[in-house]
Amino acid sequence: MLLIVAPDWSPGRTTAVEIMDTAFLDRLDARLAELDDAGRRRSLRPLRPVDGAMAVERDGRRLVNFSSNDYLGLACHPALIDRAAAWAAEWGVGATASRLVCGSFELHAVLEAKLAAFKGTEAALILNSGFQANEAVLSALLLPEVAGTAPLVFADRLAHASMHEGLKAAGVRQIRFRHNDLQHLADLLEKHAGEPGPRFIVTETVFSMDGDRADLPALCDLAERFGCFLYVDEAHATGVLGPQGRGLAADPAVKGRIDLVMGTFGKALGGFGAYVACSARLRDWLVNRCAGFIYSTALPPPVLGAIDAALDLVPTLEAERARLTAHGGRVRAALADYGIDTGASTTQIVPAVLGDERAALAAAARLEEAGLLAVAIRPPTVPAGGSRLRLALSAAHTDAGIDRLLEALAP
């Protein structure tokens, strides 16, 4: 029993706050114990990147890393490290304030112009992380003062948690369509066609846990037919897919037809942070009304330096992208031979879907024994029954590394 002694406490006095706090802590313990029982309790295990981040050292052991999102091997690339160090030396290690106070450096503006050119949009805005971007940007777009009282938001069921959090924060009702099922989306758009309010479609271009792609041309057709705002998350496509790695939204078939594209710098671009690419008018709205942008310290110069170097490199990395595609094809073919379900993956993310939590945890432990890191992904990150090893491939993986992975997964 926890007793919080207030300054004016006297014997015999028990306030509601004291009782609630005790019950609260008891409930925390009970919920954690339930997670334990269900094989869903998470914990943090320290590790250290080695070998240009393609391996990690954990508990004195070296493991080849098949769980990081460093798809092009840029996290330890000398060009990124050098520019991060140079910009830190020249500009300092912190932005010191939010962009609207005194943290909007020339570097931010230069980088945003470069990003807009990279994505082929009128404007771009840098945000501090992908999670923050989705949550804060969706909230700002759906503020009643612009969205009206009841916007209709059609979201892919498997859209990233950060988008669902943004929609929750905005207090809007989500109309969820079955994952990548555009007939279902069309039916729902039709069903709600007579209702007032602006329409938004929210989805990812490459799904983070499944490695499959959205059909962007068909989504653009639907958005245009039903007058919807189309919002897409390119976290796992940026750097990897589309012309010169500019993302699937930069494909000529859809370029200019998507209202807002967000993406991250923490995956294929090797660094940290996020962006939205959109019209100048939308950017202006976000600068004025996006709380996650307004009330947060800006990304610091060394991080911006790494992003800048990555944006210079990415268009030149065609050979790396071809290698990544080949790794994906090889792993999917081998898993199919082993009878392991890889869903609809067509990218560098290959799920080995194993079913329940214990099966995924056991497989991850077996791989760790073999010197490989492939983390088990369990509900609520994936639907119940869909626990898996999420194999994230990188152009920096060697063929021998892929051989080891496939040997370890063989039945």
The residues annotated as belonging to the active site are: 69, 160, 204, 208, 233, 236, 267
Q: Residue 212 Cβ, how far from ligand PLP at the closest point, in Å?
A: 12
Q: Is 278 helix (H, G, I), strand (E, B) or coil?
A: strand
Q: CA-CA distance, 294 to 136, in Å (whole number)?
A: 10
Q: CA-CA distance, 57 to 195, in Å (whole number)?
A: 56
Output the residue with the shortest Cβ distance to ligand PLP: 130
Task: For ligand PLP, give the closer residue by CB, 130 or 239.
Answer: 130
- Token digits of residue 134: 């989705």
Q: CA-CA distance, 145 to 53, in Å (whole number)?
A: 46
> With contact defined as beta carbons under 8 Å apart, do 328 and 342 qualify?
no
Q: Residue 25 Cβ, how far from ligand PLP at the closest point, in Å?
A: 29
Residue at token pair 């479609």: 201
Q: Looking at 89-97, 110-118, 126-134, 313-321, which segment touches ligand PLP (CB under 6 A)?
A: 126-134
Task: For ligand PLP, give the closer residue by CB, 150 or 344.
Answer: 344
Task: For ligand PLP, give the closer residue by CB, 274 or 276.
Answer: 274
Q: Residue 131 Cβ, how far from ligand PLP at the closest point, in Å?
A: 4
**Of the candidate residues 68, 139, 208, 296, the single one contacting ligand PLP (CB under 6 A):** 208
Task: For ligand PLP, give the closer residue by CB, 158 or 409.
Answer: 158
- Token digits of residue 13: 């006095």
Per-residue binding letters, 73-112, with ligand PLP (x by CB under 6 A):
----------------------------------------
Provide, for the chain, the percentages of residues in helix, strand and coil under a 3-state DSSP scheme, each rounded to the nearest 5. Answer: 45, 15, 40
Q: Which residues in 316-335 contact ligand PLP (CB under 6 A)?
A: none
Q: Residue 330 Cβ, how far from ligand PLP at the closest point, in Å?
A: 23
Q: Residue 189 Cβ, how far from ligand PLP at the closest point, in Å?
A: 23
- Token digits of residue 322: 């071809």
Q: Residue 205 Cβ, how far from ligand PLP at the closest point, in Å?
A: 9
Q: Is 260 helix (H, G, I), strand (E, B) or coil?
A: strand
Q: Residue 4 Cβ, how far from ligand PLP at the closest point, in Å?
A: 35
Per-residue binding letters, 153-192, with ligand PLP (x by CB under 6 A):
-------x-x------------------------------
Q: Is 78 helix (H, G, I), strand (E, B) or coil?
A: helix
Per-residue binding letters, 217-246, with ligand PLP (x by CB under 6 A):
----------------x-xx----------
Q: Which residues in 268-287 contact ligand PLP (CB under 6 A)?
A: 274
Task: For ligand PLP, give the closer residue by CB, 174 or 264.
Answer: 264
User: Does the protein bind ligand PLP through residue 131 (CB under 6 A)?
Assistant: yes
| Amino acid letter for position 339 | G
Task: For ligand PLP, give the closer residue by CB, 63 or 127.
Answer: 127
**Of the candidate residues 65, 121, 134, 342, the single one contacting ligand PLP (CB under 6 A):** 134
Q: CA-CA distance, 363 to 388, in Å (whole number)?
A: 9
Task: For ligand PLP, give the closer residue by CB, 259 or 356.
Answer: 259
Q: How far is CA 80 from CA 83, 97, 234, in A?
A: 5, 24, 21
Q: Give the DSSP per-residue string, 191-258.
A: HTTTS-S-EEEEEESB-TTT--B--HHHHHHHHHHHTEEEEEE-TTTTTTSSGGGS-GGGSTTTTT--
User: Does the protein bind ligand PLP through residue 293 (CB under 6 A)?
Assistant: no
Q: How many CB atoms lie within 10 A of CB 389?
A: 28
User: Does the protein bind ligand PLP through residue 266 (CB under 6 A)?
Assistant: yes
- The region, left, alpha or beta by phi > 0 then psi within -120 to 50, assigned to residue 74 is alpha
Q: CA-CA distance, 378 to 359, in Å (whole number)?
A: 10
The contact set with ligand PLP (CB under 6 A) reads 129-131, 134, 160, 162, 204, 208, 233, 235-236, 264, 266, 274
